[in-house]
Structure 1
């Protein structure tokens, strides 16, 4: 299958895109409809709420047999009932420092309930903790107090006092109702985006983040400083524009229908590849805190990724990863769900799930890292982690905006992002929360269809078309951010950057064909380049009866090589020097030449390209009489050397 390249019309469009990146003031609207797509997605800001939902009626004093409980500035107390004669029963009994039931909560599927408590540790810090009801009602219910004391709560250790304290937790049935959410991101199909410290938007009920990891989404500094010190330098720098677009694209992944995936940026040290990822992180938080690392186990990376649901996930320096496990990690990250694990009490835990836009970087590309670990990259991995080169005009940059070199520009932007970060992302999420989700989805899909029409070459493979969706979403998200006033690049600039980077990726990939087909050709070519002479016995008798005895003395025979000299000229009036045909033994063909490849797919491709001589029924192998087969014919694969050498595997 031959590669498909960008035609002259596409080249002209890319030239215009590059000119737009250099001179954004010359921008014209994408077209009336596309410009409307960006502008219509800019709703009026919606006031955010940290905790929405119905408030309870006036709470009653929790009572149990023999008394009741009270909470004051000194903690939780048991108040005994007075005796019949009016005399006291010895006074109030102190049970613990500040411990308050703040909510009765259930999980997202209404399957399990729990008590959400607020406590104060011995340093005066306020903390929250969730206690499942099934533990509160168990025979070992007092064991939950061990968790509270481990968090710093001072309690009375008298056994009866412990029992009263558990009863206190059990009696707060009229506390506000809440919903525990195990991950960041959009809550179902509502306009509420859950973060560890707050909920942006309104789900119609009180949502409480209960994830195992706290994502460092933090705000500091001023939005204008970020726009002036980071966003403005993205103009003329398509790689930086794309990564900033990825940060804005992350909350749109579900609406776009895309699985987790993204870009792996490759470049030499100190060229800016880590910086462009850090600047994407600055949309939501402080880069050095927000950035994650490849240096993790598969289980650790699974839980880290789940914590960044609907947010960009930044993985720094792939060389720190376990090379043997990188291939599996890439598939796990893109599948959006973790490994099935059993519960301590039996059954299977709910799978961790996520949908992230991933930005990775390193000095080595994904294929090299996987090969280092003894594996082989698959085309599916390449279109999940799309490799982009940071080797541009000035490191990762095309336009230095007056700075002396790329390190100087990187330092300026990094210092700005360290002091001014996060507020742009919060405002962006608030605007998305207030938007009409149906209309926003329609705008996203219209933009992605437009990108497909404009950027994907005719005849492109499904893999190339799939990868284009990530570029398209980054382009749309960058345009949306600009239309909302969150970035100051001109209309069409982010879109042009996405097109330029997609074209660069296609060029570096070698065209728009299937990656598996290119891998097949590369592997077959490599085998014959290495063993075409040493691995095949020379067969020079046209009567098919003898062969070169010297060439037969080899420890690892792959078959026969027949070279026929031709004095005639071919159709182009050029002299033919010789033609070589290889007769490959079946076991060698399957187990060595096509090792690790799909045999049926490889044979089909090689037949289409004329590399294999088919039999009379079009089959990949054919019956031939070999020098050592006597009068009988045996099945072999006949390979046309000229067709193999002429096949395009780039």
Structure 2
């Protein structure tokens, strides 16, 4: 019995050995989906389902990272900015793809390790693992190629145009295109809901509201900047708090994108930044609308500089560590801003004058539509402006991002079907038509006013094109009509169709004289007027209250042609330069002469020789008292 038992036991052991499977302590390289070995596998590394390992000796392996696929090697049009396009799955099984510049491999590798770890890839720890990681990266190659770009927006590939977003390239490029940057910024171009949802729940609510239609049209117009060869620039909704400015910004952001956490609000940027920070923000928003909230957070000392930076599309020139010139950041953006303060208000806080060029590039538009409901003119199904604003905030929290992508797809399809030159001529003709219709009653409008009219017209064309593509739900002429209303309000706020420098010249000289009257203008009182008439006792000037300090010139009590006596101001050269600071001095003096405020000398020069009491002859600018009280002087 025991013998039979022993024989059966030995047979069971033999059967177990013969039928058993070999179990390896370390798995062999797999050939399934877990394998990540590139072409020409380097024998120093093993690619297993568990990840990538570095051989060290005959048996010992060092864990580098989880499985990674090498999809392609990337480079730009000039054969520079080489990189690797890698793919991996995070711990939840979600796939990630990202292009990494090879320039990141030249350092300690911490930046690229950080970005991979942030994407959910498991990394080996320890000095040996980090060294093996860099060694592995340097060994990677691929026969596949991709085209790398360093910013989003329009790019030309072999005569064809394509629009690059962080996660998608829209248009025909001939090969795969990847956004490849040394610093990664979270993508704000999320999508939630459909175009139909946006048109029904947001676009339809914009109708009959000039500011909302204009804001949404800005988002569709931004990608047209490069196509039409237009300059960058922006519009700022200026007005008191709680009138609906931020709601309008959420509406325009919902066209472009958003984030899961903040909805369309996640696409909005803040003005609270330095000029360097704004530059990087602009580069990440090339060819799309940049919404900026609350301009009052901007440092007043940098306001003018940032206005030029955003509109000119060019960052600061910087040097490398060796003293060479770095590549200057270049971008094209249309921005929409909000704030209780405008550009001129911030410049005034900083003690600076607002240049006409800044004003043209950065147009302040009153946010209040004048209907007693703040920014709104029509509330649709809601009873109060506050309820309407809450509805739009809720809708833009759920629906965002789809309209921009649909617009770009249809635009690139149109550019394929229709000649790009023909489409460009058609849109430019429409811009000119709208601008001229708005200025038909102002034939003498300055180039500055016409420039702003063209920008507003381009915004209108963006809205009209989106309507043509079936994205907005508006009637065909709505975008043009609403943009025209906004332009009329901007022009009325500006107060003149002339050149801003002309108004600034008069205003600055007026303010200078009014501010420094007794303090810096020494009294010049004599018994005879220039015409030889005796000054009567009742015509004596007012009594002196202050002693002149830091003299800018003289003021002389003179009987005018109408028989009344008034002060005549004589500014020395330094005084006039100070009064007209920030302006083109010669142009400003010409304007003042044409307006009759500045009286030229008898020798034809703008200044004349005078002999104030107790002084030798000196050349000075003679300014009439009319500058303190009227827009036109003596002619």
Say yes or no: TM over 0.5: yes
Q: Say if 2:595 and 2:632, in contact at 8 Å, map to a contact too.
A: no
Q: Alignment partner for residue 71 of structure 1, among 39, 47, 61?
A: 47
DSSP-derived class of the 1:383 partner: helix
Equivalent positions of 1:223-622 (< 5 A) are 223-285=195-257, 286-343=263-320, 347-392=324-369, 393=371, 394-436=373-415, 437-456=420-439, 457-532=442-517, 535-542=521-528, 551=544, 554-556=547-549, 557-565=551-559, 576-578=563-565, 580-591=567-578, 593-622=579-608
Q: Say if 2:232 and 2:334, in contact at 8 Å, map to a contact too.
A: yes
> What is residue 195 of structure 1 aligned with on the other side?
165
Q: Aligned in 2, Cα 1:494/1:72: closer, same or farther, shift over 3 Å? A: same
Structure with greater Cα Rg: 2
> What is residue 5 of structure 2 aligned with on the other side?
none
Q: Say if 2:235 and 2:362, in contact at 8 Å, map to a contact too.
A: yes
1:113, CA displacement in angstroms? Answer: 1.8
Q: Aligned in 2, Cα 1:635/1:344: closer, same or farther, shift over 3 Å? A: closer
> What is residue 36 of structure 1 aligned with on the other side?
none
CA distance in structure 2 between the partners assigned to 1:264 and 1:515 by the alignment: 18
CA distance in structure 1 between the partners assigned to 2:128 and 2:512 by the alignment: 79
Q: Say if 1:330 and 1:381, in contact at 8 Å, map to a contact too.
A: yes
CA distance in structure 1 between the partners assigned to 2:130 and 2:269 by the alignment: 42
1:221, CA displacement in angstroms? Answer: 1.8
> What is residue 23 of structure 2 aligned with on the other side?
none
> What is residue 6 of structure 2 aligned with on the other side?
none
Q: Aligned in 2, Cα 1:191/1:598: closer, same or farther, shift over 3 Å? A: closer
Q: Alignment partner for residue 113 of structure 1, among 67, 74, 82?
A: 82
CA distance in structure 2 between the partners assigned to 1:134 and 1:478 by the alignment: 42
2:613 equivalent to 1:627: yes
Q: Aligned in 2, Cα 1:497/1:160: closer, same or farther, shift over 3 Å? A: closer
Q: Aligned in 2, Cα 1:113/1:225: closer, same or farther, shift over 3 Å? A: closer
1:443, CA displacement in angstroms? Answer: 1.9
2:620 equivalent to 1:636: yes
> What is residue 647 of structure 1 aligned with on the other side?
631
CA distance in structure 1 between the partners assigned to 2:613 and 2:343 by the alignment: 46
1:610, CA displacement in angstroms? Answer: 1.7
Which 10-residue stretch deviates more, 272-281 or 615-624?
615-624
Q: Say if 2:556 and 2:567, in contact at 8 Å, map to a contact too.
A: yes
CA displacement 1:370-417 (0-9 Å, x = unmatched): 222333322211111100001221201222235322212111122122
Q: Aligned in 2, Cα 1:607/1:221: closer, same or farther, shift over 3 Å? A: same
> What is residue 52 of structure 1 aligned with on the other side?
none
> What is residue 154 of structure 2 aligned with on the other side?
186
CA distance in structure 2 between the partners assigned to 1:553 and 1:369 by the alignment: 33
Q: Say if 2:514 and 2:628, in contact at 8 Å, map to a contact too.
A: no
Q: Say if 1:579 and 1:642, in contact at 8 Å, map to a contact too.
A: no
Structure 2: which 5+ residue stretches go unaligned? 1-36, 258-262
RMSD value, Cα: 3.3
Q: Say if 1:104 and 1:114, in contact at 8 Å, map to a contact too.
A: yes
CA distance in structure 1 between the partners assigned to 2:303 and 2:179 by the alignment: 30
CA distance in structure 1 between the partners assigned to 2:294 and 2:318 by the alignment: 29
2:159 equivalent to 1:176: no
CA distance in structure 2 between the partners assigned to 1:400 and 1:127 by the alignment: 43
CA distance in structure 1 between the partners assigned to 2:132 and 2:297 by the alignment: 52
Q: Aligned in 2, Cα 1:580/1:204: closer, same or farther, shift over 3 Å? A: same
Q: Say if 1:68 and 1:78, in contact at 8 Å, map to a contact too.
A: yes
Q: Say if 2:99 and 2:179, in contact at 8 Å, map to a contact too.
A: no
2:67 equivalent to 1:98: yes
Aligned residues: 571
DSSP-derived class of the 1:635 partner: strand
Q: Aligned in 2, Cα 1:478/1:156: closer, same or farther, shift over 3 Å? A: closer
1:467, CA displacement in angstroms? Answer: 1.1
Q: Say if 1:609 and 1:643, in contact at 8 Å, map to a contact too.
A: no
Q: Say if 1:229 and 1:412, in contact at 8 Å, map to a contact too.
A: no
1:176, CA displacement in angstroms? Answer: 1.5
Which 10-residue stretch deviates more, 207-216 or 299-308?
207-216
CA distance in structure 1 between the partners assigned to 2:122 and 2:195 by the alignment: 43
CA distance in structure 2 between the partners assigned to 1:525 and 1:102 by the alignment: 68
Relative to the length of structure 1, the TM-score reads 0.79
Q: Aligned in 2, Cα 1:144/1:552: closer, same or farther, shift over 3 Å? A: closer
Q: Aligned in 2, Cα 1:586/1:214: closer, same or farther, shift over 3 Å? A: same
Q: Say if 2:355 and 2:582, in contact at 8 Å, map to a contact too.
A: no
Q: Say if 2:101 and 2:180, in contact at 8 Å, map to a contact too.
A: no
Q: Say if 2:88 and 2:97, in contact at 8 Å, map to a contact too.
A: yes
DSSP-derived class of the 2:251 partner: helix
DSSP-derived class of the 2:230 partner: coil
DSSP-derived class of the 1:187 partner: strand
Q: Say if 2:212 and 2:248, in contact at 8 Å, map to a contact too.
A: yes
1:419, CA displacement in angstroms? Answer: 1.2
Structure 1: which 5+ residue stretches go unaligned? 1-58, 82-88, 569-574
Q: Say if 1:537 and 1:559, in contact at 8 Å, map to a contact too.
A: no
Which gives a bigger RCO, structure 1 or 2 (Cα 8 Å, sep 6+)?
1
CA displacement 1:268-308 (0-9 Å, x = unmatched): 11111111121011012232100111112222221111111
